[in-house]
Amino acid sequence: MAHSQSYPLSKCLPSQTKEEMENQKRTYQSFRRLVSTLLSFDGVANHPLYCYNGWYAALPLLVSAIVAREHFKAQPADVLLATCPKTGTTWLKALLFATVNRSSHTNSHPPLATLSPHQCVPSLEFSVCVNDRIPDLDALSSPRLFGTHIPFQSLPASVIDSGCRIVYLYRDPKDCFISLWHFVNKLRAKDNIELWTLDEALEHFSNGISPFGPYWEHVLGYWNGHLERPQKVLFLKYEELMQHPKVHLKRLAEFVGSPFTEDEEKEGVVEGIIRLCSFENMSNSEVNKIGRAELEVGTVEYSLFFRRGDVGGWANHLTPEMARRLEEITESKFRGSGLSF
Ligand code: PAP
């Protein structure tokens, strides 16, 4: 089986007249003007964060999210992989892509050996609805896989209307916060911006001012979506995926309509995918070591998406008071929801 999407996505741009291209450019410019009038906050890296519809993101990402909301046409067979940043997006993209395209992963050249998970599962706001062009994604073969950090309340309406599936992954906010802090400081170091102290970062994060945050509302938005339509929104937890990868990978495969057969299980296909997508394997592949994505927010080396990939590493950084602060917020926000850590 060929892998399910055509890359690069720039090939999916429709052939357009000059006038159509100009019109699209004007659409993006008008959204840019709109976003630039919103309340903004000191950026976590080199871009200020703008507040839109109760959440925060850098200007180009908000513009792409608004374009996606207006123009993205979800199809019933699509799978949308939704996460708050730093909760395991890269891992889940790899697992989902390898599962859906597993027959091409059994040969000696699996796509994930040469492509980053972020190329295999492009993100609506980072790589699909960008560059002043509205892509025509109808020609992509099914099932189309897309990643997104867009909060539930701002998803394109067609995502819900089409009945497509959403897989949501969340993680202990303490580990998510520490992961974000490291990531942001690597970007800041590259741009010669003064590094963020843990105190400053915690203040922002606790007040909800983080990319695509507030973190807690992000999780709760999708959680409520899951409660309303459990057959359409699957909820996974990073810590549980780490502890019982086989159980949760099988749930994921069933959810997206590609359950593992008995023969596949006997042949060790499930374990093979878990190994292929493991932190150790992914972080050592050539593309993830030296590849990079040219994004509208700047160049991001794929290696920045791999740090430790473990559970509980927050304890090496947070003081007991800092940890308590995040735990208290989590407890009060998640109280009564059925979610916990
Ligand atoms: P994104 O949302 O910006 O795309 P995301 O992939 O969610 O980033 O975050 C990276 C985190 O996932 C890192 O966590 P850490 O900083 O606590 O280490 C990264 O190490 C972890 N990660 C990346 N790949 C894997 C993997 N294959 N298995 C487990 N964790 C992983």
Span 86-102, pLDDT tens digits: 999 999 999 999 999 99
pLDDT of residue 161: 96
Tell me: the pLDDT tens digits for 54-81? 999 999 999 999 999 999 999 999 999 9
Report which ligand 1 atom has the smallest distance to the Cα of 88.
Answer: 7
pLDDT of residue 64: 96
Give the number of other Cβ atoms within 10 Å of residue 176's Cβ: 25
Using CA atoms, how far apart are residues 168 and 234, in angstroms rounded to an integer? 6
Q: 149, 204, 218, 248: which one is catalytic?
A: 149
The pLDDT confidence band at residue 1, using thresholds 50, 70 and 90, is very low
How high does pLDDT run on average in the chain? 93
Report which ligand 1 atom has the smallest distance to the Cα of 85.
Answer: 2
pLDDT of residue 66: 96
- What average pLDDT does range 269-297 have in this prediction? 95
Query: Which residues approach ligand 1 with their CB closer than 6 A?
Result: 83, 85-91, 175, 179, 182, 277-279, 282, 305-309, 313
Own/partner pairs, 247-251, CB within 8 angstroms, 24+ separation: 249/95, 249/99, 249/273, 249/274
pLDDT of residue 164: 97
Would you call 317 a catalytic residue per the annotation? no
**Length of the chain measured in residues:** 341
Residue 146 CA to ligand 1 centre (angstroms): 17
User: Quick check: 281 pLDDT over 90?
Assistant: yes
Residue 164 parent element (H or E): none
- Determine the Cα angle at 111 with ends 78 and 171, to 5°: 60
pLDDT of residue 177: 98
Using CA atoms, how far apart are residues 105 and 189, in angstroms rounded to an integer? 37
Atom 2 in ligand 1: residue holding the nearest Cα = 85
- Determine the Cα angle at 150 with ends 36 and 95, to 5°: 140
Residue 139 CA to ligand 1 centre (angstroms): 31
Give the number of other Cβ atoms within 10 Å of residue 13's Cβ: 15
Q: To test ligand 1's pocket by mutation, which of 61, 81, 91 has the most ligand atoms within 8 angstroms of CB?
A: 91
The pLDDT confidence band at residue 7, using thresholds 50, 70 and 90, is very low
Q: Which two tokens stand for residue 248?
A: 């949760």
Domains defined along the chain, listed by start: 9-334 (3.40.50.300)
Instruction: Provide, rounded to the nearest whole percent, the portion of the chain with pLDDT above 70.
Output: 94
User: Quick check: 297 pLDDT over 50?
Assistant: yes
pLDDT of residue 247: 98
Report which ligand 1 atom has the smallest distance to the Cα of 306.
Answer: 20
- What average pLDDT does range 186-203 have in this prediction? 93
Start-to-end CA span in the chain (Å): 39
pLDDT of residue 107: 61
Report which ligand 1 atom has the smallest distance to the Cα of 94.
Answer: 27
pLDDT of residue 3: 38
User: Quick check: 8 pLDDT over 80?
Assistant: no
- Which has the closest alpha carbon to 182: 91, 303, 49, 51? 303
| Torsions phi, psi for 299 (to 5 deg) | -85, 135
Using CA atoms, how far apart are residues 52 and 212, in angstroms rounded to an integer? 10
Atom 4 in ligand 1: residue holding the nearest Cα = 89
Atom 27 in ligand 1: residue holding the nearest Cα = 279
Lowest mean pLDDT among 221-225, 298-302, 310-314: 298-302
- pTM of the full predicted structure? 0.95
pLDDT of residue 2: 35
Tell me: the pLDDT tens digits for 214-264? 999 999 999 999 999 999 999 999 999 999 999 999 999 999 999 999 999
Residue 19 CA to ligand 1 centre (angstroms): 42
Atom 16 in ligand 1: residue holding the nearest Cα = 179
66: which residues sit within 8 A by CB, 6+ positions away? 31, 34, 35, 52
| Torsions phi, psi for 83 (to 5 deg) | -150, 155
Lowest mean pLDDT among 37-41, 209-213, 282-286, 288-292: 37-41
Residue 103 CA to ligand 1 centre (angstroms): 25
pLDDT of residue 9: 63
Burial string for 310-328 (b: 16+ CB within 10 Å, else e) reads eeebbeeebeeebeebbee
Q: To test ligand 1's pocket by mutation, which of 240, 306, 310, 317 has the most ligand atoms within 8 angstroms of CB?
A: 306
